[in-house]
Chain A
Amino acid sequence: MGRWGAMSIRQALLALLEPGPMYGYQLRAEFEQRTGATWPLNVGQVYTTLARLERDALVEHVDGSGADDATDQSGQHGPAAAQVMYRITTSGRGEVSAWFTTPVPRTQPPRDELAIKLAIAVTLPGVDVASLIQQQRTATMTALQDYTRLKRSGRASRPDQAEDLAWSLVLDSLVFDAEAEIRWLDHCEARLRRAAVEGRLHTPARPTTPLTRPQPATHEEEVTS
């Protein structure tokens, strides 16, 4: 799931209920209207999330819109679930307002698999880091080409509704992310090459034995001091 945690699904669906009550399938459609299928949301997730929001008294059934047992304890969704219309409660509105007035925390850096992979790769003998970087760059560039194509065609290219503008902004976010990743890969490549040319990068041939004292200096510091 990465940076797309359960928390933001919950907040996003709750916020979409602000303008008025909706059925679960409508919520999903409204969500995808704004985000494409970038973060696909299955119907089950929508109903599970709504059930939790209801448990926490942030949403409630609209009277007479469906059976009370629409979502049972085991998380199974019968046909009745689709017929329940949900409305946001006062405390739900409070939660939405808090969401919009609180920055998304950046305490946990979002993209880490690639950084971790590279961090491990550069320290291991026998890993072809240059081709790792190139393969990633090609893959990320392919994605960037796809996002760019979506941006210049279809409803994102001439947004005349707020939902289309939202979608084009989501695409921009994907474009900026991919671009940043490629720039970072270029940067890694350049630094690794320089380090190799200057001959100061030696990867340990076998696992380093744990040190009993703090390591005095890195290779880089030894060279530059």
Chain B
Amino acid sequence: MTAVLHLDNVTRVHGDGATEVHALRGVSFTARAGELVAVMGPSGSGKSTLLTIAGGLDEPTSGTVSVEGTVLGGLGNAGRARMRRTSIGYVFQDFNLIPALTAAENVALPRELDGERSRAARALALAALEEVGIAGLADRFPDEMSGGQQQRVAIARAIVGERRLILADEPTGALDTDTGEEILRLLRSRCDAGAAGVLVTHEARHAAWADRVVFIRDGLVVDESGADSAEELLEVSP
């Protein structure tokens, strides 16, 4: 499997002098195509900083971040913005949809910003909405949809145009248990289809949908749980 996201010895220091905060203290981290990785840690552990740096929304103090082989630090602002529109999908806890735009318009936006003609962008948006199971809601506005539906729109926006890296920051935080599970199922299937996903969460039950769970404490990766082995123990004997 190829590395879609790679962080190499990344540090992030906020402030300086007496107020200096080391949010990340040398994190190396990889997410490969077809893999969903969960990052777990208490608040203040650095997990959200890791995600914003991975998504090019923030820059590391030292170390490098590469997305599909391109080092983000070498790109400059415009290049990074383009990278975010074409390669990186971001899903937030509070959906971050634009209230004045319909579902389809919200999803089409990153494509239009990238210079796609609006008819083509809409076609891509409709395909993405179809993929997340809400093609029928394309012309609704965010306030006409439930939380779960809005998060589906946000996921459609994150995957529109074949983006292969999906970063999700507590995407189920504002949803009830069943709806949250649907969203995880969606992220999971997107990764099974070849994307790389990084899911930041403090809920063990949600992290358990991932192939790997990375534990972060005080800006350092302290441990990692892969998943294999124990499965046979639970298989029903014929």
Interface, chain A (partner B; CB < 8 A): 32-33, 36-38, 134-135, 137-139, 141-150, 152, 167, 175, 178-179, 182-183, 186, 189-190
Q: Are A141 and B207 in contact (CB under 8 A)?
A: yes
- The residues of A that contact B211 with a CB separation of less than 8 Å are 145
- The smallest beta-carbon distance between B209 and chain A, in angstroms, is 6
Q: Are B208 and A148 in contact (CB under 8 A)?
A: yes
B92 contacts the other chain (CB 8 A): no
- The residues of A that contact B227 with a CB separation of less than 8 Å are 142, 145-146, 149
Q: Are B225 and A142 in contact (CB under 8 A)?
A: yes
- The residues of A that contact B226 with a CB separation of less than 8 Å are 142
Interface, chain B (partner A; CB < 8 A): 40, 42, 185, 188, 203-205, 207-211, 213, 215, 222-227, 229-231, 233-237
With beta carbons under 8 angstroms apart, the residue of A138, A144, A147, A186 that contacts B42 is: A186
Q: Are A146 and B235 in contact (CB under 8 A)?
A: no
Q: Are B204 and A141 in contact (CB under 8 A)?
A: yes
- The smallest beta-carbon distance between A98 and chain B, in angstroms, is 30
- The residues of B that contact A189 with a CB separation of less than 8 Å are 42
Knowing A37-B233, A142-B230, the reply to whether A179 touches B205 (Cβ < 8 A) is: yes
Q: A138-B224, A144-B205, A145-B209 are in contact. List 6 more A-B contacts (CB 8 A).
A: A134-B223, A137-B215, A138-B213, A143-B230, A144-B208, A175-B208
Q: Are B213 and A145 in contact (CB under 8 A)?
A: yes
- The residues of A that contact B207 with a CB separation of less than 8 Å are 141, 144
With beta carbons under 8 angstroms apart, the residue of B204, B222, B234 that contacts A146 is: B234
Residue among B210, B215, B225, B236 with max Cβ neighbours from chain A (10 Å): B236
Residue among B204, B213, B224 with max Cβ neighbours from chain A (10 Å): B204
Q: Are A175 and B205 in contact (CB under 8 A)?
A: yes
In the complex the two chains form, what is the Cα distance from A105 to B89 in whole Å?
Answer: 50
Chain A, Cβ-Cβ closest to B231? A146
- The residues of B that contact A142 with a CB separation of less than 8 Å are 225-227, 229-230
- The residues of B that contact A144 with a CB separation of less than 8 Å are 204-205, 207-208
With beta carbons under 8 angstroms apart, the residue of A32, A150, A183 that contacts B237 is: A32
Chain A, Cβ-Cβ closest to B227? A145
Q: Are B230 and A146 in contact (CB under 8 A)?
A: yes
Chain A to chain B: the 8 pairs with minimum beta-carbon distance, closest first:
A145-B227, A182-B204, A148-B208, A144-B208, A141-B225, A138-B225, A142-B225, A146-B230
Chain B, Cβ-Cβ closest to A38? B234
Chain B, Cβ-Cβ closest to A150? B234
Chain B, Cβ-Cβ closest to A181? B204
Q: Are A138 and B208 in contact (CB under 8 A)?
A: no
- The residues of A that contact B233 with a CB separation of less than 8 Å are 37, 146
Q: Are B231 and A138 in contact (CB under 8 A)?
A: no
With beta carbons under 8 angstroms apart, the residue of A33, A36, A37, A147 that contacts B208 is: A147
- The residues of A that contact B42 with a CB separation of less than 8 Å are 186, 189-190
- The residues of A that contact B185 with a CB separation of less than 8 Å are 152
Chain A, Cβ-Cβ closest to B185? A152
- The residues of A that contact B213 with a CB separation of less than 8 Å are 138, 141, 145
Q: Are A33 and B236 in contact (CB under 8 A)?
A: yes
- The residues of A that contact B225 with a CB separation of less than 8 Å are 138-139, 141-142, 145
With beta carbons under 8 angstroms apart, the residue of B210, B215, B237 that contacts A145 is: B210
- The residues of B that contact A38 with a CB separation of less than 8 Å are 234
Q: Are A183 and B204 in contact (CB under 8 A)?
A: yes
17 contacts between A and B (CB under 8 A): A37-B234, A37-B235, A134-B215, A134-B222, A139-B225, A145-B227, A146-B230, A146-B234, A147-B208, A148-B209, A152-B209, A175-B208, A178-B208, A179-B203, A179-B208, A182-B204, A189-B42
